[in-house]
Structure 1
Amino acid sequence: MKKFFSSLLFVFAVGTASVTAQSTTMPQQQEKIEVSDAELTQFAEVFQKMRVMNQEVQKEMMTVVEEGDFELQRFNEIHQANLNPKKEVETTKEEDKKYEAVVAEIEEIQPKYQKKMQNVISESDLSMERYQQLASALRTDAELQQRLQAIMKS
């Protein structure tokens, strides 16, 4: 279920879904960046707001799927097959029509949440570029992840 939402809302991948409290090893380690405690605290505040927004958009998207007369699991099966050319799923013409209608409605939701996300970042002392830089660094920097966890617990 979350894979579907993450794939459709690519914007949130940078802001929320990709930043985890666990270390992720990447083939290419990026250069460590300097991050002050104040800046990391600001990031944590924005990140928390992003998580809440992500939950809101997921609920809204689930409602769209359900109102589109789809079971969430079936919709996700079809969606995953559309994203992955190696994965096949048989669908009826009716399912194809419903799928296209639901995806179109979900895609209309995206700009609203993208704007909200940009507003949350712009209301902070972080630029969009710096927020993304920190989010990216958090994917690979275990020490930075631990610092963020400590800030978020306090």
Structure 2
Amino acid sequence: MFKSKKIAGLMLTVSMFASAAVFAQTPQLPQQQQQQVEVSDAELEKFATAFQHVRVISMEAQQEMAGVVTDEGMEIQRFNEIHQATMDPDVKVTATEAEKKQHQKIITNLETIQAGVQEKLEKVIGEQGITPARYEQIAMGLQNDPALQERLKKTFDK
């Protein structure tokens, strides 16, 4: 079920911090510690380079995952509806037995893809000289720190 949450994150959105879904096993910091992250200019450069690679890998993975869903004969929107219902008891969706079997087959295929994507992401982030945990920490810090966001923007503009 934990893997399914990561898959749902990859399937439902293409976001700036898509890697957070893949590295969800990294311990989460308390909210107050997520707000400010000290990042040197050199480390931000490494993050920016890794981020560009992560974004490409994430987009390719999402395309591949969408292909799996459609290749199995299910529309992505319907897959997401059924998947959300399996993840959240407050979401009510009626699915036929055939759809439930189809959904489970898709999940099995997506878990295989997700494992490969995680390896690629860890490798590309590591190649930049930062750990996946530190990458996620910086990404989480960016969500809450406008000054860090501006520094990253300037790094991309170089």
Amino acid in the other structure paired with 2:119: K
Judge conservation of contact 1:15–1:132 (CA < 8 Å) in 2: no
Q: 2:32 aligns with which of 22, 29, 33?
A: 29
Q: Which residue pairs with 2:135 in the alignment?
A: 131
Amino acid in the other structure paired with 1:29: Q
- Distance in 1, matches of 2:117 and 2:7, equals 16
Q: Which residue pairs with 1:70 in the alignment?
A: 74
- Distance in 2, matches of 1:90 and 1:34, equals 47
Judge conservation of contact 2:46–2:129 (CA < 8 Å) in 1: yes
Query: Normalising to structure 2: TM-score of the pair?
Result: 0.79
- Distance in 2, matches of 1:102 and 1:15, equals 18
Aligned pair in 2 of structure 1 residues 33, 96: CA closer, same or farther (>3 Å)? closer
CA shift for structure 1 position 93: 0.9
Counterpart of 2:31 in 1: which secondary structure?
A: coil
Q: Which residue pairs with 2:27 in the alignment?
A: none
Counterpart of 2:32 in 1: which secondary structure?
A: coil
How many aligned positions are there? 141
Q: Which residue pairs with 1:14 in the alignment?
A: 20
Q: 1:140 aligns with which of 126, 138, 144?
A: 144
Aligned pair in 2 of structure 1 residues 7, 113: CA closer, same or farther (>3 Å)? closer
Gaps of 5+ in 1: 17-26
Counterpart of 2:128 in 1: which secondary structure?
A: coil
CA shift for structure 1 position 62: 0.4
- Distance in 2, matches of 1:77 and 1:153, equals 39
| Aligned-pair identity (%) | 41
Counterpart of 1:66 in 2: which secondary structure?
A: helix
Kindly provide the CA deviation profile for residues 103-123 of structure 1, in whole angstroms up to 9, marking residues without a partner as x. 111011111010001100111
Return the structure number with greater relative CO, CA threshold 8 A, min gap 6: 1
Kindly provide the CA deviation profile for residues 46-72 of structure 1, in whole angstroms up to 9, marking residues without a partner as x. 011000000000000000000111011
Query: Normalising to structure 1: TM-score of the pair?
Result: 0.81
Aligned pair in 2 of structure 1 residues 83, 8: CA closer, same or farther (>3 Å)? farther
Judge conservation of contact 2:50–2:124 (CA < 8 Å) in 1: yes
Judge conservation of contact 1:15–1:135 (CA < 8 Å) in 2: no
Q: Which residue pairs with 1:118 in the alignment?
A: 122
